[in-house]
Structure 1
């Protein structure tokens, strides 16, 4: 190994294995090792479907948002956000999905796609006009969803022209392979899934990097004792995720019936009507999965996203829980907030969308959304567990935008939004000022001096400042 470490050090192994290491002080100029400026700017969006009414938002951490409480000191929550001016025709599942995280009016039928790029793409283009250097993947889209209609129901990554980016990857093993490499070349082998499971059970991708690892940990290594310990913990975390992949992959089975494209088939082709084909059944014929299996998958995906950010393998991405419309029949007993609900019997004949939101059973919605938000919290917790050279966690050093598609029962008013992290640029707390989604996105990106670099097609009136939000 070259004793002169670059900012992003990588252990290369046989085949396509490349294990990126976490940011360490030795990777950075001595004058900048403890400064925020040397930590890469990151932006990740996180969304959950089917909305949450304002009364539940105002419960703060005593209701469905309970799982977000550990991050309260790093989170600004907005409870009076009106997406109506950005909506196209149709229900919010179709009409505001592409306005979420873009902040510009959504285009309507037949495409239902965005009027501009999503915020992680705005930041990426502003900071890296020539492309993101030295990362495994420039951005990644992940999460659990069911394809039921227009692309705006499940995609939150929108390209510069408003066209949809990649469909979210559901399988943790494929997220792992995108970020950390695999022994198997990409292909159409029908036995690939089982072979990947076997690989993760019996052998680690870390085995291919053993020689370089031993050099890095030797007495001649340029790393100090603290950094060696961090590297060891980082690689242990990767191996731990590998060992957890196999049972989750087996339990997911032929998950949801419509797999996203393989790596290399990164975006879906036009016309956009491609997304509306093979939409699958709704009601009693909708895909079914145990809630614990979905939760395990989301937890693993969250750990992988956090590891990817910590080792600068990815800086931009989107995470979807369920997606707009919520056409997945979860099963199993779910306990939260001192209450219990049997998803198996509740969703035996239909989906959450049909059975508890259309008829609006607030008590059931309260627990269902607790379940969805808890899945997103896995990623936040994983990011908060990785400390970086400036003394802050990956979560604190990243900008996280969290949102849903509507408020109460298909009403585009009172759509919950939150901003997390931001490197100290924002003040935590609860904000009930009447704003548009674009007001939040404008102020968040302006804190990074990005909004001024990429003029956005915000609504006709100028974005308003949100009192007390920015830490000036």
Structure 2
């Protein structure tokens, strides 16, 4: 075996735009890496958004309540309660708009499709890589599963320092896969072109390189060769799931639908909401989460945002919801609300939240959202997500999780835009994970403390405003 180390950025390149990143291998280690030098781990920051929020009183229950699905990851998370976004209030608007725009920016929106400033991930990106990311990377990856569409801020949560959208939203598994690994060939959108795409795999174009790295002349040992084979098989598996591809044959099957859930105008018919099953919702989301995690694991992207349900989401959910083998709830929003259209959507449980009631339906929906957020986070905390310092991507990255509202009732600005749920990962030991803290501070100060801790020289908000450091969140 050739004992010379290979680069962490080694990739397989195929024809056209196809680029397949390799997993982290033993041969990518050097003596310096063995010393666990923090500089060997790339800087990464991602924003994870979920719609409608968690009322502040429910956050006080900690992991005994709706946050239960996050408990297995609790030692790698810092939960921050009492984060205030009241400065983001926009007269005549509500948290579905201004609260969602404030998530990760701490500022009100600047129009229909622009935030009031940069988001956490992009501020870090521009500071960490002022000359741009390594060649071949996806600069910013934005994706998610959502259905409410009236304003961009409802579902996009990655913004450049000037407030413009940092990247095009990828809302279909096919599109996300192609964004990460590239397209085989330009497509004109015709049925024939799309059918041709289904006959082929992006891995077809890297066969020769695959044979080199797994063959006798490979610079890799047996363990790494096996891992590459398994890694490419996993890419193939996700590709098949994303494109509904069968085994490649000369007689390809008819073009399957792009997705099992609505997109575009059909996803938001006049704001009246859609009917969807829990299985349909979570199956699509988990494929998106798997693909997004794979993009991070293969070092194809280091910054961006992922959305699970938009701000003010309107869906009528049905299905049996289980967690850890126990039945939590039977979703049937339309029947339980005894209304049709928008009135029958889960959205309304938030507007009807009352501290002195059981809020059973809201609790079930919020618990389910945390289960799906935890699903994504867990993808970055396993054996496929080990970094050069021996820790997982989840531990090394700054992943910030937030939402739009602290209550859901539009009749009280402070209640609606205060107590916004926030959590973050440790970013390589920079933040105080394993705790639930009552920070009781303005979001702008929390975010700027996070940026300062990540060595970002610029700050969010007005230039003349004196910032307050929230040292309680720093390790």
Considering the TM-score relative to the shorter chain, is it more than 0.5? Answer: yes
Comparing 203-212 and 136-145, the one that deviates more: 203-212
- The residue aligned with 2:253 is none
Range 16-25 or range 395-404, more displaced: 16-25
Match of 2:227 in 1: 230
Tell me the equivalent position of 2:264: 257
The residue aligned with 2:38 is 36
Aligned match of 1:454 = 458
Q: Give the corresponding residue for 1:275.
A: none
Q: Work out whether residues 80 and 421 of structure 2, in 8 Å CA contact, stay in contact via their aligned partners in 1.
A: yes
Matches within 5 A, 1:48-197: 48-89=50-91, 90-103=93-106, 105-107=107-109, 110-111=111-112, 113-190=114-191, 196=197
Query: Could you tell me which residue of structure 2 aligns to residue 443 of structure 1?
Result: 449
> What's the secondary structure of 2:67's corresponding residue?
helix
Deviations 1:288-313 (A, max 9, x none): 33221221122112121221112210
Map 1:69-468 → 2, pairs under 5 A: 69-89=71-91, 90-103=93-106, 105-107=107-109, 110-111=111-112, 113-190=114-191, 196=197, 198-199=198-199, 203-246=200-243, 250=257, 252-253=259-260, 255-258=262-265, 280-283=269-272, 286-336=273-323, 338-343=327-332, 345-346=335-336, 349-351=340-342, 352=345, 354-360=347-353, 362-385=359-382, 386-410=385-409, 411-428=416-433, 429-450=435-456, 453-457=457-461, 461-468=465-472
Q: Is the 8 A contact 1:43 1:120 kept in 2?
A: yes
Q: 1:332 Cα shift?
A: 2.5
Give structure 1 regions of 4+ aligned residues with deviation exceeding 4 angstroms.
Answer: 190-196, 246-251, 458-461
In structure 1, list runs of 5 or more residues that go unmatched: 260-277
Offset of 1:467 from its aligned partner?
Answer: 4.5
Query: Structure 1 pair 94/100, CA: closer, same or farther in 2 (3 Å)?
Result: same
Q: CA deviation at 1:43?
A: 0.3
1:1-57 deviations in whole A, cap 9, x for unaligned?
x98733311112244322111233433554235433111100000011111112221
Is the Cα contact below 8 Å between 2:79 and 2:423 reproduced in 1?
yes
Q: CA RMSD in A?
A: 2.8
Give the TM-score, by structure 2 length. Answer: 0.85
Q: Give the drift of 1:346.
A: 4.3
Structure 1 stretch displaced more, 16-25 or 85-94: 16-25
- TM-score for the superposition, normalised by structure 1: 0.85
- Distance in 2 of aligned mates of 1:279 and 1:293: 16
What is the rounded CA distance, in whole Å, between the counterparts of 1:183 and 1:346 in structure 2? 47
Asked if the contact 1:12–1:19 (Cα under 8 Å) also holds between the matched residues in 2, the reply is: yes
Q: Where do 5+ consecutive residues of structure 2 fail to align?
A: 246-255, 410-415
Shift of the 27–325 alpha-carbon distance from structure 1 to 2, 3 Å rule, reads: same
CA distance in 1, matches of 2:372, 2:183: 26
Aligned partners of 1:147 and 1:258 also within 8 Å? no
Separation in 2, partners of 1:154, 1:115 = 15
Alpha-carbon deviation of 1:246? 4.3
Please tell me whether the aligned partners of residues 426 and 432 of structure 2 are also in contact (alpha carbons under 8 angstroms).
Answer: no
Give the conservation status (yes or no) of the 8 Å contact 2:154–2:311.
yes
Do the aligned partners of residues 32 and 387 (structure 1) sit closer, same or farther apart at CA in structure 2, a change above 3 Å counting?
Answer: closer
Query: How far has the Cα of 1:149 moved from its partner?
Result: 2.1
Q: Tell me, in whole angstroms, the C-alpha distance in 2 between the residues paired with 1:338 and 1:446.
A: 44
CA distance in 1, matches of 2:395, 2:229: 23
1:123, CA displacement in angstroms?
A: 0.9
Residues 342 and 86 of structure 1: CA distance in aligned 2, closer, same or farther (over 3 Å) = closer
Contact 1:24 1:388 in 2 (8 A): no
Would the alpha carbon gap of residues 121 and 156 (structure 1) be closer, same or farther in structure 2, given more than 3 Å must change? same
